[in-house]
Structures are given as structure tokens and as C-alpha cells.
Amino acid sequence: MTQKPIVDLLDAMGAQALPCIHNEPLAQHTTFRIGGPAAVFCKPRTVAELTRMLELCREKQVRTYLLGNGSNTLFADEGYEGAVICLTELKTNPVVEELPDGRTRLTAGAGTLLSAVCNKALSHSLTGLEFAFGIPGTIGGAVYMNAGAYGGEIKDVLHQVTFLDEELKLRTLPAAELELGYRTSIFEKRPWCILEAEFILQPGERDKIEAQMQDYMARRRDKQPLELPSAGSTFKRPAGCFAGQLIEECGLRGFTVGGAAVSQKHCGFVVNMGGATCADVVELTERVRAIVQEKTGHVLEREIRVVR
């Protein structure tokens, strides 16, 4: 891409007072702490700003990438020659409502952290989201990949999602129509932008809900390398087994490429030991995949998104 579309986009956004930055380091916006600069980095504060940003990107023929908390994203070392649109400002205070049929609905904006939504559920003694406590993502990202842990998934409690479609029209679809599967959804296949999600939760006992959340959090601290930058579980779970277990059985605990390493604490995680590049992580994951396939026959699929 030539620089002219980027310059034209920056000029148009500046003229309309839309929040944007030129050459923003993407390493500052991902949990991996890896990635070169975004030609344009945007942080819309309202749906109207988001819509106008997307319109301008199309008009100027600048490609876009929608980013949440960056907890499952690995940006290229060269950066992103386009507009990275970060949705973390599109957060809301989660709202809890009693429905006429007796069910309880919790609604939150795409940029709202999962932790805030879990705490809101806890404060109203609502059960169903305990598994998500401690996942370092936003609602938008969690819906996008149908996040899950400890036997629970977003699809288990998701009611419906409001989004901008390919024509930037506001639409709402029920969870049953979102093709929610293991770490996937329809949003991976369509150029749609998640704005808000609604969950149906059940009444429970506050003490039990809190105890379950704290138990899951303690397990994370005990088993996962939370002290080092990573993007969470690096590989999807193969049928009938666990990626981390396969990697460990192949003798790859602590295996390194450059500044990237298979975690000593949990082999399902690739961590940034300091100064790791995107190239380091990609090469490491490819070598791990090849070794695991050769030794076990299982084919590992990366769960983290590599964005170039």
C-alpha cells in the first residue's frame, strides 16, 4: 500500500476530530507485548465515531483490523499497514434486568472487560459466568472466539449480539444464529463489528459463585505463566487430548526460539521471555507443530491470531 491512502485517511480523521494516532507501536496494545507500528491507530469513543471511521477507511481504501484487549493477537514485527481500530472505549457499565418471563439478562458493550462483567454477575448473585473470571479479554473478543475455560464457554450463556454488518447497518442476531463452536463464531467469517452482547444468567448463591471464581483464579495463578507476556493458550485443544500435554510429552518444555519459549510452567503457553519478535513466536509454533505431529500424529492448530 502506498502512503497516500494513509495520509488521506489521517487528514480526513483529523478534520473530523476522530481520535487517531500515526505509527502507534502495537506492542503496547497486546498482552504478548510484540508488534511493530500501526500506520493508523484509532480508538472510537462512540458507535457513531466507529461507524464514521469504518466509512472513511473504506472510502480511502485503507484496510482495517478490529482489536479488543489484544489478549489473543500477535502483530507482525513490521507492524500493520492499515488502520487498527481498538474498541476498548466502547465499554459500558454492565446492566442487569429482570425479563417478563422471569429470566435475568446482563448486557455489556464490546469493549467491556470480562472481569467487569463477571463481577457484575457476582454482585447480583447470578451464576453462569464463573468460568470466564480471569480471562484477560473483552466481551467483543470473547464472543468473537467463543472464549471458554474450565468446561464453560460463552455460547452457554450468550443470548444475542448487536453488531454492525458489512453495510455498517445495526443488526441483532440470537446466539443460535452465530455459528458458535470451539473457539470460533460467525464473526471470524464475516466483516462484522460486535457492539454489544446480552447474556441470560441464573440466580445462585453469592458465596458459592465467589468461591468458584476464586478457585478458578487460584488455578490460573498456580498453573499458568501469568508473570510473563503471552497470548494465553497458544494452540487449540486437539480432539481427545490437550495441546500442552502433547508438547510436554515431546520433550519441548522450555523450548526456545529467540526470545520466545514454551513455558516452563505450562507447555500450552508460548511466552515472551524478553525481546521476543513475531518471527520468533511463529517459528517456534511451527517447529512445535512439526515435532508434535511427527511424534504423536496430532496436528496442532494455533489459537492465537497472527496479524500481518
- Quote the CA–CA distance of 247 and 249 in Å, as a whole number: 6
- Model pLDDT for residues 57-92, shown as the tens digit of each residue: 999 999 999 999 999 999 999 999 999 999 999 998
Burial of 30 (0-12, 13-18, 19+ CB in 10 A): buried
Q: Which residues are catalytic?
A: 183, 233, 303
Cα–Cα distances in angstroms (integers) from residue 189 to residues 50, 101, 180, 226, 257, in the given order: 20, 34, 12, 31, 32
Burial 247-276 (b: 16+ CB within 10 A, else e): beebebbebebebbbbbebbbbbbbbeeeb
Q: What is the CATH number of domain 95-210?
A: 3.30.465.10
**Alpha-helical segments (H) within the chain:** 3-15, 47-59, 114-123, 139-144, 206-223, 243-249, 278-296
pTM for the model: 0.94
pLDDT value for 102: 82
Instruction: Please give the pLDDT value at position 295.
Output: 97
**Domains of the chain: which residue ranges?**
3-86, 95-210, 225-307
State how far the Cα of 48 lies from the Cα of 51, in Å rounded to an integer.
5
Crossing angle of helices 206-223 and 114-123, in 10° steps, is 150
Q: Return the closest-CA partner of residue 161 out of 117, 202, 192.
A: 192
Whole-number pLDDT of residue 2: 57
| Residue ranges, the chain, pLDDT below 70 | 1-2
Supply the pLDDT for residue 161. 98
Choices 3.90.550.10, 3.40.50.300, 3.40.640.10, 3.30.43.10: CATH for 3-86: 3.30.43.10
Cell numbers representing residue 271 in the block: 511466552
CB-based contacts of 165: which residues, under 8 Å, 6+ apart? 171, 190, 192
For 42-108, the DSSP string reads E--SSHHHHHHHHHHHHHTT--EEEESS-TTEEE-TT-EEEEEEE-TTS----EEEE-TTS-EEEEE
Cell of 202: 441464573
What is the model's pLDDT at position 92? 86
Q: Which CATH architecture has domain 225-307?
A: Alpha-Beta Complex (3.90)
In this structure, what C-alpha cell is assigned to residue 154?
Answer: 460463552
pLDDT in tens, 273-305: 999 999 999 999 999 999 999 999 999 999 999
Q: Residue 101's pLDDT is what?
A: 85
Integer angstrom CA distances of residue 68 from 86, 109, 172: 6, 11, 20
